[in-house]
Amino acid sequence: MPAITLVGAQWGDEGKGKATDLVGNRVDYVVRYQGGNNAGHTVVIGDQKYALHLLPAGILSPDVVPVIANGVVIDPAVLFEELRGLRERGVSTERLLISANAHMIMPYHRALDKVTERFLGKGRIGTTGRGIGPTYADKISRTGIRVQDMFDPKILRQKLELALHDKNQVLTKVFNRRGVELEQVFDEYMEYAEELRPFVADTSLELNRALDAGKTVYLEGSQGTLLDIDHGTYPFVTSSSPTSGGACAGAGIGPTRIDKVVGIIKAYTTRVGSGPFPTELHDEWGDWLRQKGGEYGVTTGRNRRCGWFDAPIARYATRINGITDFFLTKLDVLSGLERIPVCVGYQANGTRYDEIPMTQTEFHHAVPVYEYLDGWNEDISHARAFEELPKTAQAYVRTLEEMAGAPMSAIGVGPGRDQTLELRSLV
């Protein structure tokens, strides 16, 4: 059986948690392959709502083995808090596997994330302040601390000494903040090590063996294509590779293992934090989408910026990720509009663009060119088959499908587990 990758096709918060939960009882492993607790994935099961930050949403499915793979960055305090919260709600957590190669978010990473943002002022990225960027920066600089380093006190101390040599200079001399005390961090992380130990495994080996044995592995992306460090709206991006290529490196699986890439995409667009967003609405329609769609951040509680569907972005996501199927979420939110604007291209500096322009400057100046599709008034949240949707809603989906370049295989009509029309099996 195959590996399936799930990716956000826009700027995150497309409904990845719900999509993972939908297939939870049909897969054997659910793997987080990048990002950290900057993510916020919501799963609604009956009257219970769960917000997951670091754990894969598959942890809520009793037969799934949830995996935090090598590409993820781990804040141990957050991990244990999240595990504790789930256990208190009756969710079993002992199946969790954590890669020995995943990198640790350290207190100085969180501190640096915050001071850098403050320093940038108006030019800030609008990060989640969780230390994600500085942790990945250390990973690439080869000064990071991995899960396995915490099991050898001598190595942990050595690596901490090396890291703090620079970090404390920067915190105290550049940013005028308090430095980080080596012994304090050392003791704190030695305690975490004991709590982590039972979960730690060679997750790449485990996943490859599982695939050999015919099991299904589901790779749950966080963030989204336009937040990708290489393919997103740099520098207004996260510091990892949420796109499908990142899934292989982040999980230790070869690309030939993956035979489906599911793109999660909203029927409109949202973004949290700074950076270009051509279809953003600054008027009452932006407020309308925010209120109707409940567009408030799961992690930071910030208002999400809202705008209409952007077809060049959908096409871009199809291209960059090799998307084979889309899961179109939040179609229900658009009920009540007479006409629905859909962005089909841009104008920038007197030039018409049918695709995302090559340079960030052009994208910053991109003004959307809209086509107007017919809306519908009916509440569609009770629909359970495509044919039960109003004809104009069906046409909206079909038009988006054509523009995006891959089939809309599932459609979300509400946050609940059962509020999904699955036109083609996602697994």
CA-nearest of 284, 396, 290, 388 to 338 is 396
Consult the annotation and say whether 142 binds a ligand.
yes
The 284-303 site mask, x for binding Mg ion (CB under 5 A), equals: --------------x-----
Q: Are the C-beta atoms of 96 and 55 separated by less than 8 Å?
A: yes
Using CB distances below 5 to 8 A depending on partner kind, what does residue 333 bind out of Mg ion, ligand IMO, ligand GDP, none? Answer: ligand GDP
Question: Is 225 marked within a binding site?
Answer: no
Q: Is 8 in the site for ligand GDP (CB under 6 A)?
A: yes
- Do the Cβ atoms of 11 and 226 come closer than 8 Å? yes
Residues in region 25-44 near ligand GDP by CB under 6 A = 40-42, 44
Task: Say which residues have a Cβ less than 8 Å from residue 170's Cβ, sequence separation at least 6.
Answer: 112
CB of 176 to ligand GDP, least distance (A): 35
CA 276 – CA 361 distance, rounded (Å): 9
Nearer to ligand IMO, 33 or 316 (CB): 33
Residue whose CB is less far from Mg ion, 40 or 293:
40
Q: Which residues ranging from 55 to 74 are in contact with ligand GDP (CB under 6 A)?
A: none
One of 332, 363, 368, 403 touching ligand GDP (CB under 6 A): 332
Radius of gyration, alpha carbons of the chain: 22
State the nearest-atom distance from the C-beta of 190 to ligand IMO, in Å: 27
Residue 331: exposure state from Cβ atoms within 10 A (0-12, 13-18, ≥19): buried
H helices within 14-131, ranges in order? 16-23, 76-88, 107-120
- Rounded to a whole number of angstroms, the distance between the first and last alpha carbons of the chain is 10
Told to check if 35 binds Mg ion by CB under 5 A, we report no
Q: Is 13 a catalytic residue?
A: yes
Q: Please confirm, yes or no, whether 228 is among the known catalytic residues.
A: no
For residues 355 and 312, the answer to whether their CB atoms sit within 8 Å is: yes
- Is residue 16 annotated as involved in ligand binding? yes
If binding is defined by CB under 6 A, does position 1 make contact with ligand GDP? no
Assess 113 for contact with ligand GDP (CB under 6 A). no
Residue 243 interacting with ligand GDP (CB under 6 A): no
- Is residue 18 a contact residue for ligand GDP (CB under 6 A)? yes
Q: Which residue type, as a one-letter code, is found at position 180?
A: V
Token output for 324: 């084979």
Contact between 21 and Mg ion by CB under 5 A: the answer reads no
Catalog residues that contact ligand IMO under the rule CB under 6 A. Answer: 8, 11-13, 38-41, 125-128, 130, 132-133, 222-224, 227, 238-239, 272-273
269 is in an annotated binding site: no
138 is catalytic: no
Q: Which does 368 bind (CB under 5 to 8 A by kind): ligand GDP, ligand IMO, Mg ion, none?
A: none
Token duo for residue 393: 């809603």
Catalytic residue selected from 53, 103, 139, 231: 139
Instruction: Report phi then psi at 65, rounded to 5.
Output: -95, 115
210 to each of 121, 215, 255, how far by Cα in Å? 47, 5, 16
Contact flag: residue 250 with ligand GDP (CB under 6 A): no
Q: How far apart, in whole angstroms, are the C-alpha atoms of residue 390 and residue 409?
A: 18
What CA–CA distance (Å, rounded) separates 42 from 49?
7
Closest separation in Å from C-beta 194 to Mg ion: 31
Least spacing, CB of residue 329 vs ligand GDP, in Å: 4
Query: Annotated binding residue at 303?
Result: yes
Distance (Å, rounded) from C-alpha 7 to C-alpha 316?
A: 13
The reply on whether position 13 binds Mg ion by CB under 5 A is: yes
The CA–CA distances, whole Å, from 96 to 29, 63, 73, 204, 377 equal: 10, 11, 16, 14, 44
Q: For ligand IMO, which residue has the nearest CB?
A: 273
Residue 332 partner contact from ligand GDP, ligand IMO, Mg ion, none using kind-dependent CB cut-offs of 5 to 8 Å: ligand GDP
Half-sphere exposure of 362 (CA within 13 A, CB side): 15
Query: What is the nearest approach in angstroms of ligand GDP to the Cβ of residue 291?
Result: 12
| Annotated catalytic residue, options 21, 28, 41, 138 | 41
CB 246 within 8 A of CB 33: yes
Q: Determine contact, residues 52/44, Cβ cutoff 8 Å.
A: no
Question: To which H or E segment does residue 320 belong?
Answer: helix 311-321
Determine the residue type at 322: G
Q: Which does 329 bind (CB under 5 to 8 A by kind): Mg ion, ligand GDP, ligand IMO, none?
A: ligand GDP
Is 15 known to sit in a ligand binding site? yes
Burial label, 88 (beta-carbon count in 10 A; 0-12, 13-18, 19+) = exposed
Residue 223: which of ligand IMO, ligand GDP, Mg ion, none does it interact with, CB under 5 to 8 A by kind? ligand IMO
Q: Which residues participate in catalysis according to the annotation?
A: 13, 41, 139
Residues contributing to the annotated binding site for Mg(2+): 13, 40
Residues contributing to the annotated binding site for substrate: 298-304
Chain residues binding ligand GDP by CB under 6 A are 8, 12-18, 40-42, 44, 294, 298, 329-330, 332-333, 412-415
Residues contributing to the annotated binding site: 12-18, 38-42, 128, 142, 223, 238, 298-304, 330-332, 412-414
